[in-house]
Amino acid sequence: MTSRDTAALEAELERLREELQTCRKQLLEANELSAVGRLVAGIVHEINTPIGSILSNNEVAIRSLEHLKALLEEAREQRAGPPPKAAKIVATLMNLAAVDKIACERIVSIVRGLKTLVGGAGEEFVEADVNAILEDTLKLARCEFRRRVEVETRFGDLPKVQCIPNRLGQVFLNIFVNAGQAIQGQGKVVVQTEREGDFVHVAISDTGRGIAPKDRPRIFSSGFTTKPAGLGSGLGLAISRDIIVGEHGGRIDFESEVGQGTTFHIRIPITPKTEEQQS
């Protein structure tokens, strides 16, 4: 092989590497959009409910203020003190304001969770609180869980880790959504965190149908899914492994029992290492 042939081969290999990197990025973005898309209906419902409450309260507040204004004007004309009914109206308005505050906090929490998942370019490593990322991601996942899935958190005292927060949010969301879809009817998801030496360990358990032994070797394979057509792309866990292992130098594995549920174990190094450094 001549030097010209070698140079041409190296150029072709470099081109292929660039194409693979582009494809990987596109798959990552597509999976992120897919994960968000699956939650859109639930998020809309979750936001519509508090907004509906605020609008209803607003109508009551306007009528109450008009009534209060009339009472105070009448009292002023008669040069009398505020009537007793005015105090009741003020108390009603305060109660409405308290309800509206709760509704607004609910909306803010959902938006904050969505921002954690897709916020900004977010390609650089920064110090972040894994417990906070889990909390924000769970706010989105609860839109998928609704009232049928109970969530229990057992968060340990963790150091901040060097990570890409929205990437970790994508991994957690993939696993939460998978857990919700694996649970038929009522069920439970337990999220635990603890420090293990130089790693932060996240364990996400569900009471779903579990993973069949024949499927376990392929669970992280790209394109493989056990879900019905239209529910799974087969990319979620493959990309999750890529994010944890390839980008963060961590580990991801699972244990499962058919009919009992599945636990995913994610170990994130406090200071990241590349996949090459680990091998």
Q: Contact 76/94 with Cβ under 8 angstroms? A: no
Find all residues with CB under 8 Å of 139, minimum gap 6, and list them: 109, 110, 112, 113
pLDDT at 278: 45
DSSP 218: G
**Which tokens belong to 94?**
């305060």
- From residue 266, give the alpha-carbon distance in Å to each of 23, 30, 153: 25, 23, 15
Q: What is the pTM of this model?
A: 0.63
Question: What are 29-74's pLDDT values in tens digits?
Answer: 555 555 555 556 556 656 776 787 788 888 889 999 999 999 988 8
Domain-wise residue ranges, the chain: 125-278
Measuring CA to CA, which residue among 199, 191, 145, 198 is closest to residue 171? 191
Residues of the chain with pLDDT under 50: 120-121, 224, 228-234, 274-279
CATH H-level, domain 125-278: superfamily: Histidine kinase-like ATPase, C-terminal domain (3.30.565.10)
pLDDT at 101: 83
pLDDT at 130: 96
3-state secondary structure 171-197: HHHHHHHHHHHHCCCCEEEEEEEEEEC
pLDDT at 54: 86
- From residue 123, give the alpha-carbon distance in Å to each of 66, 98, 140, 163, 166: 53, 39, 21, 9, 9
**Separation of alpha carbons 8 and 14, rounded Å:** 10
